[in-house]
């Protein structure tokens, strides 16, 4: 009979109290994991984006198109290897609530410039071969049940189909990709610029270009190229603003501004409250087990051993609670990933975050357990058993 057997038994003595304490700690650690992961995901997005890809947008705003002849002109700049047009399509599948990103792009160039798009079903060649073909992320393919060969009907909200606003654009799914890096989501649909342009415009009436991605040659200096591109249209007809892809993504990240601060504040506050609850639970436990501790000491168990029973109860309590919180956080990770992919691709709970959760859990256990354990250790048998006349 080791004294450790007492640990779970004593906790089960008050199932409700134990459950509530475990539950509150589980919620706190769960929140902490999720909140911190939002921050690390944002940071990872900004840092895995690459510097050899430049984004050119209208200096006015991302939502103002550039003249259609800009890409060809940019392609002639020294140090530019490749140029791809991107246009935000802003459509939806069946219902406007089925929100995800679609882009009209130059398919050949995008496939070449983005090794992060790893085709796992169908093939890139098939995507390139047909003008009405598209490449979709695994996430939306799974959500909407699209397989290679299926037709994805997308209603154009920004760009209604010329044959009528309720007629959907039809893209044949030729490739399904999974992101090979964290700055990419798996919920984007890419389709051919040519189809976009030709469906939409009568001859000579181009829709313009939302953004242009420039792949810089390996031996060229991205900042020189950036300057050269900006310089090109200095005198009109429309100025452009060129940034590296990492800066481009960072401008979205900065919209989240003070998130790290809020995470620390919320996490810290919740944790402090829960810690108080744990301390309270353990103090109550120590008071209840006072007499039993005296008995154990009378039987010959050392002060330290008897005191440690309280410390282990505290650690057991917090480890179960914290473990549960981390388990739940990990469990909803795919759900968050799906729900947030549009604004925050690659949501992920890093091992480091789980490690931090574990560390906090253990610390909470030590903090809540140390006083009751010390008090129990220092208790004399006489005091514990009390004078009974």
Could you list the residues that contact other proteins (CB under 8 A)? 1-3, 5-6, 9-10, 12-13, 291-292, 295-303, 380-382, 385, 387-389
Query: What is the smallest separation between the CB atom of 3 and other proteins, expressed in angstroms?
Result: 7
- Closest separation in Å from C-beta 329 to ligand ADP: 51
303 binds, among ligand ADP, other proteins, none (CB under 5 to 8 A by kind): other proteins
- Reading the block at residue 173, the tokens are 């799914």
Sign of the C-alpha dihedral computed for residues 166, 172, 176 and 179 taken in this order: negative
Is there binding between residue 298 and ligand ADP (CB under 6 A)? no
Q: Which CB, 10 or 188, lies closer to other proteins?
A: 10
C-beta of residue 190 within 8 angstroms of C-beta of residue 152: no
Instruction: Report if residue 389 touches ligand ADP, rule: CB under 6 A.
Output: yes
Pick from 1, 234, 299, 387 the residue near ligand ADP by CB under 6 A. Answer: 387
By beta-carbon proximity to other proteins, the closer residue of 1 and 234 is 1
d(CA 286, CA 267): 28
Peptide bond connecting 263 to the previous residue in cis, omega within 30 degrees of 0? no
Q: By CB under 6 A, name the one of 157, 165, 266, 382 that touches ligand ADP.
A: 382
Q: How many CB atoms lie under 10 A from the CB of residue 158? A: 11
Interacting partner of 145 out of ligand ADP, other proteins, none (Cβ under 5 to 8 A depending on kind): none
How far is residue 109's CA from residue 295's CA, in Å, rounded to a whole number?
79
Name which of 107, 113, 251 is nearest 191 in CA terms.
Answer: 107
Question: Least CB distance from residue 326 to other proteins, whole Å?
Answer: 28
Q: Which residues are 84's β-sheet partners?
A: 213
186 neighbors 26 (Cβ within 8 angstroms): no
Q: How, if at all, do strands 188-192 and 101-105 pair?
A: parallel
Smallest distance, ligand ADP to C-beta of residue 303, A: 18
**234 makes contact with ligand ADP (CB under 6 A):** no
Residues forming contacts to ligand ADP in the complex (CB under 6 A) are 382, 387, 389
């Amino acid at each position: 009979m080791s004294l450790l057997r007492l640990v779970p038994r004593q906790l089960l003595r008050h199932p409700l109290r134990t459950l509530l304490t475990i539950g509150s700690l589980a919620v706190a650690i769960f929140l902490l994991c999720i909140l911190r992961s939002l921050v690390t995901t944002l940071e990872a997005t900004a840092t895995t984006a690459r510097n050899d890809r430049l984004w050119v947008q209208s200096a006015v705003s991302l939502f103002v198109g550039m003249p259609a002849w800009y890409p060809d002109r940019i392609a002639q700049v020294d140090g530019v290897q490749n140029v791809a047009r991107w246009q935000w399509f802003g459509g939806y599948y069946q219902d406007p609530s089925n929100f995800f990103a679609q882009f009209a792009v130059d398919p050949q160039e995008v496939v070449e410039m983005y090794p992060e798009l790893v085709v796992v079903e169908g093939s890139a060649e098939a995507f390139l071969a047909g003008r009405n073909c598209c490449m979709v992320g695994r996430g939306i393919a799974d959500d909407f049940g699209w397989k290679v060969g299926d037709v994805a009907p997308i209603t154009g909200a920004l760009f209604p189909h010329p044959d009528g606003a309720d007629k959907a654009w039809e893209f044949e799914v030729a490739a399904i990709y999974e992101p090979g890096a964290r700055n990419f989501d798996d919920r984007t649909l890419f389709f051919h610029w040519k189809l976009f342009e030709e469906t939409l415009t009568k001859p000579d009436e181009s829709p313009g270009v939302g953004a242009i991605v420039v792949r810089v040659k390996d031996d060229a200096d991205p900042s020189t190229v950036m300057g050269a591109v900006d310089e090109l249209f200095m005198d009109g007809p429309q100025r452009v603003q060129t940034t590296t892809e990492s800066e481009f993504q960072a401008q979205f990240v900065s919209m989240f501004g003070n998130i790290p601060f809020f995470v620390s504040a919320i996490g810290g506050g919740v944790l402090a409250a829960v810690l108080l609850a744990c301390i309270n639970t353990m103090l109550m436990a120590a008071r209840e087990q006072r007499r039993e501790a005296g008995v154990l000491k009378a039987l010959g168990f050392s002060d330290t051993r008897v005191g440690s029973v309280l410390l282990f109860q505290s650690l057991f309590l917090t480890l179960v609670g914290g473990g549960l919180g981390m388990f739940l956080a990990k469990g909803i990770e795919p759900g968050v990933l799906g729900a947030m992919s549009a604004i925050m691709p690659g949501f992920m709970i890093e091992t480091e975050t789980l490690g931090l959760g574990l560390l906090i859990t253990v610390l909470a256990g030590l903090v809540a357990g140390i006083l009751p354990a010390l008090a129990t250790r220092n208790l004399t048998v006489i005091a514990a058993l009390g004078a009974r006349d």
